[in-house]
Structure 1
């Protein structure tokens, strides 16, 4: 007799799993000075962030495929286990080298959290309910963004910076228990063929690409340095080899057939473009507030909060209305809001007041909510159960790549105009160039989403 899934308990477990991943990203900044002071690793500390990004991006599509092969529960359990183990080791690290290795392990586990959680939601819900749940899950990042600095500040000041990682253990254990006990999905009993060669070539290709992007951007190495060019060459060769393998293996890690689905291609391009804008804003908005307007570090750090609040608000609204408005209309409307906010961003003057920034970030946050949630829902609906993990992972990979490439490109443009002792006007000019590029990207995204099928065609795919 097949056991019935307790949907409410599973959703709570998934929210807990998503929360520890989101909280970890927002909480670590509060501990940075104390970690550097304790472990004497200022020169290596940037790699704590870089290695997490690298391992997470590489792990996302691999876990997505494994979820399709072996079932969501087993793969999510492995991901949570690795994330919690990495958190324990990270908190106990005695040197910066250990810290970086344990952060890499934690990043591998994080690669399973969001894509597999969203895949399970796609399995459990359909139609309007799926849209509503995506809105709820988007709120996790907002809650984590608000609680992260508060929780991190308390542990750093009152206990130890190590406890900002140990806090993941009870939450992760609760998530693991809830999903393991209450999620029941049928698994096809047949021999599974794992695409080891595809996974290896993909890992080498994207690791080389991400490493090159993390090293470049005008900070450590120029784009035309032998090291960066060599890494790009390695990435290209192994990517071509990956494509050659995927065309020939029986059970490819990433079936190339999914890229013949127009909805997937358009939403992936849109995710790549829009997430580069939001990541750039989280970096350059605080710099402008502190360096150009002369506000405090606290005030500059809080400036991205309006976007963090507006995004999940819009996600919840569009999750309930997207089928009445039309899926394509929802995404186009959101993309138009991002364009409007980006135009205002490009029009910023040095004397533009603080509240002007709040308005820009609210508009862009609302736009992103209207773009991201319907995009996730329609992608999940475009394929069957057996490919849902892969398409979810491909969407998240493209969003992560947009963030990484965006940071590198924006950094290059900014650093070309700003010297080591840049004046206020020089800093503003450097950031204005970045904002103009963001505006161009927003327009490119608006054009891209026009290629989505009409609402009636999308509904026929559901």
Structure 2
């Protein structure tokens, strides 16, 4: 690297408007390397492999379920509720990422990681046994809590296992794991639906999670990353947890997110926009967001025992704020596309889940390629990551703009695959770039919460994005179907898209084309999120840009 991580962090802090205080700078050096446990050899490789498997299964959870969602919804007869199967997982994932990151600081990495993997595995089994959509939504919400813990703990442990100069390579490696999960998820989901029950989309996690749990139990040191006899201990762990965790901040984040999604999911479908059941949650959500900002400002300024779920330092520092805002805006394009494109192939083009999974490969396969390419370019040619983030945001915008103009037809155009690839290049590259930049943006004190914030903000954006595009699709379809179908037929379609094949032949094509128009509208929503990343990324612009080495 051109600079070590600590040098880069120091340069970045001094170059930005919201520079860190002397006490915060000093905290970077507060961890004595002699007190940290060193893991090498076969043990190291087994732990890294287990972490990669964990990150893989919590990421493939999104893509594998998205591909199988039409089948699940049709089997449980609840197409209009299908998006909640996705958003329930994302919301609890978002709500618990930072709080679990902080818990790992207090009670130890290993304890939190084991509990998280166990939670994810148990509720995966419950999802596979669900008998109704409502049950599946609840079980997926609990599974999301486990996934949040797995992600935050795993990411922190990875960066504690390696030396600072290897951070860019490690971040790129993690991004490749995520990307391959995106590639294989749609194919696995489609194949499972074709060869057996959709329930195996969840049940396969049980044996995998059990093996990973065994590896961590046997090989990860009890007090990692500290030597057993040197781990800092608080007097009374329970009281320490109560004092340090920002419980109110966590509740406000989760409550504001849930209420916003509830309002968007209901608006225009089950209730009109002016309904109290839409206006009330929207209003309360807005108030909670304002209260959250005020509370986090107070907790950060108090500088006491309580540790904020989202330090105000991230907002005061223009560069770190720009990074956080960009990752939030990246959430909807990166996740919604994987949610929407396979659905279009199944509903509009009448394809099987497996065929739809194969046809989204241009999107999911280009993502890992772009992750590797941009990392190599940034390192070899010493190009500041912020330049590449802006370029990739433009690629996203153009790609989704082209997808929004796909002709309204039941025929698949070859050009659609190219449009997917262009949008995916921008999304995949930005995920890697922003992950790599994170360690350079914060102090040692905020390292754990910053890693949690990256995942939290991305999936918060994704959850909100899914709810917005679902609202767009449901409202558009319901408003326009009533002109060609009876109320009974409309109700049937909202429960199962498979009902299209049971309609009279002369009505099937108009209905599919109506859905095609709705899916194009969804892509237009993603244009806005992609384009907004450009001014957000410009906030990271500074006189002395961070440059990554090879």
1:232: which partner in 2?
A: 282
Distance 1:38 1:356 in 2: 33
Instruction: Tell me how far 1:274 sits from its aligned partner.
Output: 2.6
Which residue does 2:371 correspond to in 1?
315
Distance 1:329 1:243, change over 3 A: closer
Normalised by the size of structure 2, how large is the TM-score? 0.73
**Is this contact kept in 1: 2:116–2:150, CA < 8 A?**
yes
- Cα shift readout 1:234-261 (whole Å, capped 9, x = no counterpart): 2233344444443146323322222222
- 1:258 paired residue among 295, 314, 333: 314
Task: Give the match for residue 197 of structure 1.
Answer: 248
Cα distance in 2 for residues equivalent to 1:423 and 1:96: 25
Deviation of the 1:387 alpha carbon? 1.6
Determine which of 453, 458, 461 is the counterpart of 2:541: 453
Q: Which moved more, 1:198-207 or 1:399-408?
A: 198-207
Q: Distance in 2 between matches of 1:386 and 1:355?
A: 50
1:4 matched to 2:38: yes
Q: 1:366 aligns with which of 405, 425, 440?
A: 425
Say whether the 8 Å CA contact 1:327–1:455 is kept in structure 2.
Answer: no
Unaligned runs of 5+ in 2: 1-34, 485-509
Matched, 1:326 2:408: no
86-95 vs 228-237, greater mean Cα deviation: 86-95
State the shift of 1:80 in Å. 1.0
Once residues 332 and 358 of structure 1 are traced to their aligned partners in structure 2, the CA distance between those partners, rounded to angstroms, is 23
Contact 1:119 1:392 survives alignment (8 Å): yes
- Structure of larger gyration radius: 2
- The 8 Å contact of residues 210 and 404 in structure 1, kept in 2 or not, is answered as yes
Partner secondary structure for residue 354 of structure 1: coil
**Equivalent of 1:56 in 83, 93, 116:** 93
Q: Cα deviations across residues 65-100 of structure 1 (Å, max 9, x unaligned)? A: 323434433322221121112123333445555444
Residue of structure 2 aligned with 1:219, choices 238, 255, 269: 269
The two structures, once aligned, show a CA RMSD in angstroms of: 3.4
> Separation in 2 of the partners of 1:339 and 1:46?
24
Matched, 1:339 2:377: no
Give, in angstroms, the shift of residue 207 of structure 1: 2.7
- Superposition TM-score, scaled by structure 1 size: 0.85
Q: CA deviation at 1:179?
A: 3.7
Structure 2 residue corresponding to 1:435, chosen from 500, 519, 523: 523
CA distance in 1, matches of 2:467, 2:164: 38
**Of the two structures, which has the highest relative contact order with CA contacts closer than 8 Å and spacing of 6 or more?**
2
Give the superposition deviation at 1:227: 1.2
In the TM superposition, what are the counterparts of 1:15-94 in structure 2 within 5 Å? 15-28=52-65, 47-93=84-130
Show CA shifts across 1:357-415 (max 9, x none).
11111112122222111111212222234322211222222212222222333344445
Count the aligned residue pairs: 458
Aligned counterpart, 1:379: 438
Tell me the equivalent position of 2:467. 408
- Aligned residues of 2:404 and 2:523 also touching (Cα < 8 A): yes
Q: How many angstroms apart in 2 are the aligned matches of 1:311 and 1:53?
A: 20
Distance in 1 (CA, whole Å) between partners of 2:393 and 2:385 is 12
Query: Which of 184, 204, 209 is the aligned partner of 1:172?
Result: 209
- Looking at structure 1, the residues matched to 343 and 134 of structure 2 have their Cα atoms a distance apart, in angstroms, of 29
Residue 335 to residue 147, structure 1, CA distance change in 2 (3 Å): closer
Report SS of the residue matched to 2:324: helix
In structure 2, distance between residues paired with 1:409 and 1:33: 19
Q: How many Å apart are 1:428 and its aligned residue?
A: 4.7
In the alignment, the residues of structure 2 paired with residue 20 and residue 55 of structure 1 have an alpha-carbon distance, to the nearest angstrom, of 17
Change (3 A) 1:349 1:48: closer
Q: Give the whole-Å Cα distance in 1 for the aligned partners of 2:80 and 2:407.
A: 35
The answer on whether the counterparts of 2:264 and 2:471 sit within 8 Å (CA) in structure 1 is no
**Equivalent in 225, 229, 253 of residue 185 of structure 1:** 225
Between the aligned partners of 1:342 and 1:30, the Cα distance in structure 2 is 20
What is the rounded CA distance, in whole Å, between the counterparts of 1:235 and 1:411 in structure 2?
19
Report the more deviating stretch, 399-408 or 153-162.
Answer: 153-162
Separation in 2, partners of 1:455, 1:368: 26
- SS of structure 2 residue aligned to 1:221: coil
Q: CA deviation at 1:211?
A: 2.6
Q: Is the 8 A contact 1:12 1:175 kept in 2?
A: no
Corresponding residue SS for 1:120: helix
Structure 1 residues without counterparts, runs of 5 or longer: none
